[in-house]
């Protein structure tokens, strides 16, 4: 659905200064690092996390929520730790772990805007949406219907992502949570796979990729909620 992102301009970024950094490089999990995490998972009984590895699903979910999602302070630097912990607790498979650990920003791994690793994903989403809201009216008037549709979809996805990541546990209580979450993930994946993504600043690439990865983890940690129709069906069956 989304193929047009002509509004993105590298000069629009809030921080154009870059420097060599190990922060982004640390996000790239090579074969050695990956195998170490996998080995750690298989040998978890001897680790200090033994009790958590043996605890119930609810206790593991609570531990993840307390460690990563309390207060909306989750940053890009926390993404790989979340992926690793989710794998260690058995919520994702080895294949899913390896896929989420892939570095999708391949050509600029030695350069990063100074603030990227310390900016919370919520703050980045706010900044990115402000840039879209501040687009020139004349430019919008010259945009095609497809471009305008893309813009509306992006704004909706950013708003949804912010709502979810601000308070994951509260968002899970909403009746359409699972559907909204999966629709939001689809939009972010379309953005990341678009041609315009390659023209974005490194800050945008890293943060948008990590928002998508975090939402995918949330999706893995959130079982499908039954709608009222399904619940009534099960009640009818149980009463027969």
pLDDT digits (tens, 9 = 90+) for 1-60: 455 555 554 344 444 343 333 433 334 344 444 444 444 444 444 444 545 555 788 888
For the cut 60, the answer to whether the pLDDT of residue 118 exceeds it is yes
Domain holding 33, by residue range, is 21-229
pLDDT tens sequence across 165-195: 998 888 999 989 999 999 999 999 999 998 8
Does any domain span residue 234? no
Q: What is the pLDDT of residue 31?
A: 41
Instruction: List Cβ neighbours of 37 (8 Å cut-off, separation of 6 or more).
Output: 29, 84, 87, 88, 97
Percent of the chain beyond pLDDT 70? 64
pLDDT tens sequence across 51-85: 555 578 888 888 888 888 887 788 888 999 999 99
Residue 155 in tokens: 């704004």
For the cut 50, the answer to whether the pLDDT of residue 220 exceeds it is yes
Q: Count how many domains the chain has.
A: 1
Q: How many residues does the chain have?
A: 240
Percent of the chain beyond pLDDT 90? 36
Residue 45 in tokens: 């009984």
Q: What is the pLDDT of residue 157?
A: 96
Does any domain span residue 158? yes
For the cut 60, the answer to whether the pLDDT of residue 229 exceeds it is no
pTM of the model: 0.70
Does any domain span residue 237? no
Angle between helices 202-220 and 145-166 in degrees, nearest 10: 60
For the cut 80, the answer to whether the pLDDT of residue 114 exceeds it is no
Does any domain span residue 195? yes
Q: How far apart are CA 32 and CA 34, in angstroms?
A: 5
Does any domain span residue 6? no
Q: What is the pLDDT of residue 4?
A: 53
For the cut 90, the answer to whether the pLDDT of residue 209 exceeds it is yes
Does any domain span residue 149? yes
**DSSP codes of every residue in the chain:** -----TT--GGGSS---EEE-HHHHTT---HHHHHHHHHHHHTGGGSTTHHHHHS-HHHHHHHHIIIIIGGG--BGGGHHHHHHHHHHTTSS-HHHHHHHHS-S--S-TTEEETTTTTSBHHHHHHHHHHHHHT--HHHHHTS-HHHHHHHHHHHHHHHHHHHHHH-HHHHHTSTTHHHHHHHHHHHHHHHHHSGGGGGS-HHHHHHHHHHHHHHHHHHHTSPPPPPHHHHHHHHHHHH-
Does any domain span residue 8? no
Does any domain span residue 7? no
Summarize the confidence of residues 82-98 as an average pLDDT.
Answer: 92
């Amino acid at each position: 659905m989304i193929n047009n992102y002509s509004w993105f301009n590298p000069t629009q970024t809030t921080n154009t200064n870059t420097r060599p950094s190990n922060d982004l490089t640390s996000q790239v999990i090579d074969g050695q690092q990956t195998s170490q995490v996998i080995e750690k998972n298989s040998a978890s009984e001897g680790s200090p996390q033994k009790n958590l590895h043996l605890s119930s699903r609810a206790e593991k979910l609570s531990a993840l929520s307390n460690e990563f999602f309390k207060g909306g302070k989750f940053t890009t630097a926390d993404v790989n730790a979340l992926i690793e912990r989710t794998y260690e607790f058995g919520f994702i498979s080895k294949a899913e772990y390896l896929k989420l650990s892939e570095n999708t920003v391949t050509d600029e791994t030695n350069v990063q805007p100074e603030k990227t690793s310390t900016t919370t994903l919520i703050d980045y989403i706010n900044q990115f949406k402000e840039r879209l809201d501040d687009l020139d009216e004349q430019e919008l008037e010259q945009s095609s219907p497809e471009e305008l549709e893309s813009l509306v979809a992006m704004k909706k996805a950013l708003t949804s992502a912010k709502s979810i990541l601000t308070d994951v546990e509260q968002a899970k209580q909403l009746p359409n949570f699972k559907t909204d979450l999966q629709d939001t993930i689809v939009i972010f994946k379309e953005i990341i796979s678009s041609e315009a993504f390659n023209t974005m600043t490194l800050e945008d690439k890293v943060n948008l990729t990590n928002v998508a990865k975090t939402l995918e983890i949330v999706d893995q940690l959130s079982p499908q909620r039954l709608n009222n129709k399904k619940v009534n069906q099960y009640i009818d069956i149980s009463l027969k």
